[in-house]
Amino acid sequence: MTIGTQKKVLSRRASEAEESVTLAITAKANQMREQGIDVISFSAGEPDFDTPDHIKKAASDAMAKGQTKYTPASGLPALRKSIAAKFQRDNGLTYDPAQIVVSCGAKHSLYNVMQAILEEGDEAIIPAPYWVSYPAMVKCAGATPVIVNTEEKDGLKMRPDQLRKAITDRTKCLILCSPSNPTGMVYSEAELKAVAEVCIEKDLLVISDEIYEKLVFGVPFASIATVAPKLRERVVVVNGASKAYAMTGWRIGYAAGPKEIMTAVGRMQSQSTSNATSIAQYATIAALDGDQGCVEKMRVEYAKRRDYIVGRLRKIPGVACGEPQGAFYVFPRVSALYGKKHQGKAITGSNMMSETLLERAHIATVPGSGFGADDYIRLSYATSMEKIEKGLDRLDQFVKELS
Ligand SMILES: Cc1ncc(COP(=O)(O)O)c(C=O)c1O
């Protein structure tokens, strides 16, 4: 569409922005449900648990007290203090509250940080499989995503030599996600140290997405900012309330990093969304300062589901499944099934696999293509054990029907 004869209505940024695959699958599954079809969803990117009661109460108390007005754009001082205390307690990282900005979800934090540090001509390195939004956000900032393909033999984690090879004069930052969405892999302290050495040598900034920090199974969580003190002045750590406290709808994320960057993030946010919702900020203080037993309870439940789902997937011929150590996703390789047909319909890749699974087996998965890994599909186990069992029965049956 144009205005008059020449002016395009949409900016290049808007024209190029792609719809999130995850959201597209969820929309289609919802549509089928509205038609009365019993769809089992493995596509959710959010905890199936309810937000713990003490957190909800803090929000209703804030409402009752009339704490319903603007807050400072970068977040309530009390919340930024709680976040600083969390970083100290959990990660051994010392931040002044002035180095912390609270945003409307970790997604918003990531977006703001990229807007603050990236521009035309810059390159941002993203190991694949990656969370769908990273390349899109880099592009929204005018920069170029440079994808580094990881290998199964390395647990789908980036090796330092792969990082080194991808660096050019234009490389501005590395975007790291551990525990990972979609693979569930977790970088060890040694692996992070090795990656950090390259970043120090090559003068890179690092955006470390640690939103799944609390969901690790049998391995310790490590932050690249913690394990590489020399890199600390160049790392922006992103985290939030969504996954650990089952608070996706409250939209609270935060970033902490070098003062210069974080001041710029706060300044830019003050000209766009201003502060995150006041009552959600009060709720997050309760989440961070309160008893962490609720987090552990959910983690233990996810761990049981992970064990079950991995065990079942490994028994399905043509499905190869590694053991994720974190988050709430499994990322099985299903490419051995490509080329087969389901009642005449050819499975040509992950998009067709997910589409056919939804249409024929009534299970919603997310194609690996959106994560830069077409050989795989993503299944989230942030759903009840009963649904997981039923959904896997359907997947098993579907694969048996392939010819
Ligand atoms: C890796 C990763 N980072 C960030 C986010 C965004 O989290 P939030 O809901 O806090 O915006 C998600 C959500 O799915 C995610 O998977």
pLDDT tens by residue, 87-127: 999 999 999 999 999 999 999 999 999 999 999 999 999 99
Rounded to 5°, the CA angle 196-242-225 comes to 15
Exposed, middle or buried: residue 110 (CB in 10 Å: 0-12, 13-18, 19+)? buried
Question: What average pLDDT does range 145-159 have in this prediction?
Answer: 98
Three-class HEC string of 179-234? CCCCCCCCCCHHHHHHHHHHHHHCCCEEEEECCCCCCECCCCCCCHHHHCHHHHHH
Confidence of residue 6 (pLDDT cuts 50, 70, 90): confident
Residue ranges with strand state E in 210-304: 235-240, 253-256
Question: What average pLDDT does range 351-360 have in this prediction?
Answer: 94
Cα(211) to ligand 1 centroid in Å equals: 6
172-207 pLDDT, tens per residue?
999 999 999 999 999 999 999 999 999 999 999 999
The H-or-E segment that residue 363 falls in is: strand 363-364
Q: Ramachandran region of residue 92, left (φ > 0), alpha (ψ -120 to 50) or beta?
A: left
Cα(5) to ligand 1 centroid in Å equals: 41
- Specify the pLDDT at position 5: 66
- Ligand 1: list residues with CB < 6 Å: 45, 105-107, 131, 177, 181, 209, 211, 240, 242, 248, 253
> What is the best residue among 107, 185, 277 to mutate for testing ligand 1's pocket, by most ligand atoms within 8 Å of CB?
107
Question: What average pLDDT does range 363-371 have in this prediction?
Answer: 96
> What is the best residue among 138, 187, 208, 211 to mutate for testing ligand 1's pocket, by most ligand atoms within 8 Å of CB?
211
Residue whose Cα lies nearest atom 16 of ligand 1: it is 181
